[in-house]
């Protein structure tokens, strides 16, 4: 999500350069005349999600043991294209053939791993930066999933800087079995932003749904993506709201499976500060006079214990002792494309135990996204707490 933050920064520099909010007001007024949609969808309320399910689904058999996967797909940008603000790149608009090439790689990996339920983050459906390709439609049409829903977390009609234009991006849940009761729950916004930036900023969400197999087995599924660059307690506040939703659905007594890109490290990680790993050639951190002292989104030390909130209440697909013994094996993210993954940010949890040893961080797909897909197996027949 680093690109979103820097796009907003550049946008507001344009306004500031004109020394007036007048330009901003003109833009808002002009767009209001040509569009029935609001200039910015602030996503303030719990809402339904967009249905991408196939009109003629293929019946899938019920299973006791199912495969779950989460993947932040970096809006189909891949890693070799150095996006603006991301890996110190300069690109802001992708060509259609570039997006389709990267989406085909993602589809290939999905069809190879073949999870029964898939949680995706950073999916574009109507964005100029990705040639207005509906990535949910693209993925659904090229995979075996019968059912899919999308929830936006950043829907803005027009960003004038760098030709970015329209953006609509968000999260999705895909399943081979029918999905119902799909909701998008807004999470708290960053409090370390000025009012204007905050109005335009990404509204991270929690997607929740129920999945039902032919044998009547029901599963509650939750997908989320926490804010990447806050310097206050935003991620903790988001995590607390997310867990309220998890706890409410878990109290129903049926299996609950959740995961996503938390943008937080496991609490027993050895490395906590990645400012030097993430800095651009013209940036400098950690020295006297550096302002800021740390690169936003790269210093995890102040928040290292926050994930204990979910580890204390739910079963991780990757237990902390297993992670601790071989951390690089489970790293799922890196900023720059020419290095191995160097930290763990992506997770799966449930209200019952996962199949021991089934967790996989699929680092073989390093070039497909700045995040690795993470998958695991769970027995839906296991009793809660087992």
* Residue 251 resides in a domain: yes
* Residue 7 resides in a domain: yes
The domain that contains 41 carries what CATH number?
A: 3.60.10.10
* Residue 384 resides in a domain: no
State both tokens at 282: 């013209």
How many domains are contained in the chain?
1
Q: Cite the beta strand spans of the chain per DSSP E.
A: 40-41, 47-48, 50-51, 65-72, 117-124, 147-159, 165-175, 179-186, 205-212, 218-225, 256-261, 315-316, 346-350, 360-361, 374-379
* Residue 385 resides in a domain: no
Cis before 156? omega within 30: no
pLDDT by position in tens, the chain (length 386): 555 555 555 554 544 444 444 455 555 555 555 556 778 999 999 999 999 999 999 999 999 999 999 999 999 999 988 887 677 888 889 999 999 999 999 999 999 999 999 999 999 999 999 999 999 999 999 999 999 999 999 999 987 777 788 999 999 999 999 999 999 999 999 999 999 888 888 999 999 999 999 999 999 999 999 999 899 999 999 999 999 999 999 999 999 999 999 999 999 999 999 999 999 888 999 998 888 999 989 999 999 999 999 999 999 999 999 999 999 999 999 999 999 999 999 999 999 999 999 999 999 999 999 999 999 999 999 887 66
**Beta pairing, strands 218-225 & 256-261:** parallel
pLDDT of amino acid 9: 55
| pTM for this entry | 0.93
Which residue range(s) make up the domain with 315? 2-379
* Residue 268 resides in a domain: yes
* Residue 321 resides in a domain: yes
pLDDT of amino acid 16: 43
* Residue 25 resides in a domain: yes
pLDDT of amino acid 34: 54
Is 116 within 8 Å of 67 (Cβ atoms)?
yes
pLDDT in tens, 319-359: 999 999 999 999 999 999 999 999 999 999 999 999 999 99
* Residue 386 resides in a domain: no
pLDDT in tens, 2-48: 555 555 555 545 444 444 444 555 555 555 555 567 789 999 999 99
């Amino acid at each position: 999500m680093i690109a979103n933050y820097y796009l907003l920064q550049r946008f507001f520099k344009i306004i500031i350069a004109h020394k007036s909010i007048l330009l901003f007001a003109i833009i808002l007024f002009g767009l209001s005349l040509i569009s029935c949609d609001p200039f910015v969808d602030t996503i303030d309320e719990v809402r339904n999600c967009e249905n991408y399910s196939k009109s003629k689904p293929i019946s899938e058999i019920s299973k006791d043991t199912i495969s779950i996967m989460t993947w932040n797909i970096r809006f189909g940008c891949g890693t070799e294209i150095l996006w603006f603000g991301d890996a110190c790149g300069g690109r802001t608009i992708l060509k259609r053939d570039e997006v389709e090439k990267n989406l085909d790689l993602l589809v290939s990996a999905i069809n190879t791993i073949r999870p029964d339920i898939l949680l995706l983050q950073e999916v574009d459906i109507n964005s100029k930066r990705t040639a207005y390709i509906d990535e949910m439609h693209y993925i659904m049409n090229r995979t075996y999933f019968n059912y899919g829903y999308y929830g936006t977390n950043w829907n803005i009609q027009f960003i004038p800087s760098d030709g970015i234009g329209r953006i609509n991006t968000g999260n999705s849940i895909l399943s081979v079995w029918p999905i119902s009761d799909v909701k998008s729950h807004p999470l708290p916004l960053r409090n370390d932003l000025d009012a204007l930036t905050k109005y335009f900023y990404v509204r991270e969400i929690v997607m929740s749904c129920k999945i039902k197999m032919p044998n009547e087995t029901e599963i509650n599924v939750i997908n989320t993506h926490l804010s990447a660059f806050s310097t206050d307690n935003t991620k903790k506040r988001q995590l607390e709201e997310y867990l309220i939703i998890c706890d409410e659905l878990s109290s129903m007594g049926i299996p609950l499976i959740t995961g996503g890109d938390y943008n937080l490290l496991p609490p027993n990680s050895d490395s906590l500060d990645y400012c030097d790993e993430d800095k651009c050639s013209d940036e400098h951190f950690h020295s006297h006079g550096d302002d800021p002292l740390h690169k936003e989104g790269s210093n995890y030390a102040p928040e290292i214990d926050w994930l204990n909130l979910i580890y204390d209440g739910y079963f991780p697909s990757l237990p902390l002792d297993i992670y601790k013994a071989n951390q690089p094996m489970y790293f799922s993210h890196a900023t720059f494309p020419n290095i191995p993954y160097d930290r763990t940010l992506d997770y799966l949890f449930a209200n019952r135990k996962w199949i021991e040893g089934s967790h996989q961080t699929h680092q073989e797909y390093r070039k497909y996204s700045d995040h690795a897909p993470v998958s695991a197996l769970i027995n839906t027949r296991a009793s809660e707490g087992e």
